[in-house]
Amino acid sequence: MTLTHTDLDQATLRQAYAQFPSGVVAIAAEVDGVPVGLAASSFVAVSIDPPLVAVCIQNTSTTWPRLEGLRSIGVSVLGEAHNEAVRTLAAKTGDRFAGLDLQTTEQGAVFIGGATAWLDTTIDQQVPAGDHVIALLRIHSLEVQSEIDPIIFHASKFRKLQA
């Protein structure tokens, strides 16, 4: 097989990256009594000991600076029923949490009901990575709802797992 040389422009790179399916998470916490959060599809398990996950956040995010100084951040692995919620959470304007069932811990982590997993985290470290930052999050507690299937992001569309 011979790879075709192509320009590494943004459209071509996005098309290539879209070939890899990923789950979608909500990253959220309470700021001054109000839930603040975002949706991310660049999320990965990193380590069991210590328990770490990573999420990639665009440097242009106006939400991440509001979250990165907090002591507790909730990560909700979104479920199949969250098709509309994903779009709302990713919106630049409006109430990102409209119509969602939210649970908030005493430390301020915000979780979305109907998620397949909740991870209560703190930022372990941040690593600059091109036009993103890789945030390594340390898990302090979690809850898993294994009967709920995750929503999948693939080829720039939200999809469900098929049996």
Q: What is the pTM of this model?
A: 0.89
pLDDT band with cut points at 50, 70 and 90 for residue 116: very high
SS (H, E, C) the chain: CCCCCCCCCHHHHHHHHCCCCEECEEEEEEECCEEEEEEECCEEEEECCCCEEEEEEECCCCCHHHHCCCCCEEEEECEHHHHHHHHHHHCCCCCCCCCCCEEECCCCEEEECCCCEEEEEEEEEEEEECCEEEEEEEEEEEEECCCCCEEEEECCEEEECCC
Condensed to tens digits (0 to 9), the pLDDT of residues 122-155 reads: 999 999 999 999 999 999 999 999 999 898 887 7
Condensed to tens digits (0 to 9), the pLDDT of residues 67-80 reads: 999 989 999 999 98
Tell me what pLDDT residue 163 has.
63
The domains found in the chain, sorted by start residue, are 21-148 (2.30.110.10)
Question: What is the rounded average pLDDT of the residues 67-94?
Answer: 87
Condensed to tens digits (0 to 9), the pLDDT of residues 147-161 reads: 998 988 877 777 787
